[in-house]
Amino acid sequence: MDNYREDYLKNVKRIVVKVGTSTLTYPTGLLNINRIENLVRQLSDIHNRGIEVILVSSGAIGAGIGKLGLKSKPKTIPEKQAAAAVGQGILLHMYEKLFSEYGKIVAQILLTREDISHRVRFLNASNTFYSLLEQGVIPIVNENDAIVVDEIKFGDNDTLSAMVASLVNADLLVLLTDIDGLYDSNPKVNPNAKFISYVDEITDEIISAADGAGSSLGTGGMITKINAGKIATSSGCSMVIVNGDAPNVLNDILDGKDIGTFFQGQKYPLQAKKHWMAFGTKPNGSVIVDDGAEKALINNHKSLLPKGIIAVEGNFSEGDVISILNSEKKDIGHGISNYNSFDIDLIKGLDSCVIEEKLGHKNYDEVIHANNLVIF
């Protein structure tokens, strides 16, 4: 297993590094300049190796807290947005200044969930990244906290970094955090917790081991990191969770040293479009299918026909991504709908041959074609 890790890391050509608030700031909320300088030096050094680097950085709200002289982390969304708006410029200015000392050019990219959910914007974002990387630029990514609201939030930068890793087909995602990696239970509570250094598949056991909260300044506990791992590994990208405190941690990882927890990327990753449907989008509605349709979708990778649909929930248009729920309302997959919610409601339970008679037109026999469908 460790040989696999070492061999894999030798061949990494594109890396996404995510650094959390707890790594970048002191408990006071103010920036830890020593840590930031160390991170920039390491990233510049990796870049000199000929590896493309993307940094996903938290810390805008933390930087704003310091500048505004706040006593604690703001609680309401408008207060967070104000702190982020003030802090974003400070944070980027610091990165710009430090990276330029090593001769590196940086670019700022602010993303919201909508930039990923919308297929055209997703592809545009992807092209922007590729263009910057081609020119030797180091993109610095953050969620657009100054304007974002809950409905369009990634929720945490772990998820954002995993979406970026899949967006740019990265080989490796490194999550720098304030703990050494994954344990079989919470080490802060259980002194006998065992360290897990290698994960070839994210199972239910791994998910239950990860249950527990992070620090007060950050948003992501270990569970959000495991969810990020699901997103990254299913696109074929491996991931390492590691303590960001070590002085040369990134070079150590790339040299194959056994530090942190290594999550192996899937050997047969989801196609890019299916990965986007599974993780990138927020479904606009759902259809509930009967047991026969559920079996056909899961076991035989069939298209979804109107005959297998019991009910429709929400309002959505043709071309929207929707959830497919089984009869117990469990989410079993996502897909791009060929019909709007109103039309599906009229043709549900019917054979495809009567669609035209019922609607006055028929674009497709299938409500969702197998090519536009991903089953979980």
Q: Which residues are annotated as a binding site for ATP?
A: 18, 177-178, 219-225
Cβ-contact 240, 172 below 8 angstroms: yes
Q: Which residues, other chains included, contact 226 with Cβ-Cβ below 8 Å and sequence gap of 6+?
A: 182, 202, 206, 207, 210
Please give the annotated binding residues, written as ranges: 18, 58, 145, 157, 177-178, 219-225
127: number of Cβ within 10 Å: 10
* Residue 102 burial class via C-beta count within 10 angstroms: exposed 0-12, middle 13-18, buried 19 and up: middle
Q: Which residues, other chains included, contact 176 with Cβ-Cβ below 8 Å and sequence gap of 6+?
A: 17, 18, 19, 20, 23, 39, 242, 243, 244, 249
CA angle 56, 62, 65 (to 5 degrees): 150
Between CA 181 and CA 195 the distance in angstroms is: 7
Between CA 165 and CA 134 the distance in angstroms is: 16
Dihedral angle computed from the Cα positions of residues 168, 173, 174 and 180, in that order, rounded to the nearest 10 degrees: 160
Give Cα separations from 8 to 125, 142, 274 (angstroms). Answer: 27, 28, 25
Within 238-349, strands assigned E span: 238-243, 261-263, 286-289, 309-313, 321-325, 331-336
Sole residue written with tokens 């160390």: 38
* Residue 360 burial class via C-beta count within 10 angstroms: exposed 0-12, middle 13-18, buried 19 and up: exposed
Alpha helices in the chain (DSSP H): 2-10, 21-24, 33-48, 60-68, 77-101, 113-117, 119-134, 157-167, 204-209, 222-233, 249-254, 272-275, 291-300, 341-347, 355-359
Q: How far apart are the first and last CA of the chain?
A: 26
From the list 115, 113, 119, the residue with the least C-alpha distance to 273 is 119
Cβ-contact 178, 23 below 8 angstroms: yes
Please give the annotated binding residues for substrate, written as ranges: 58, 145, 157
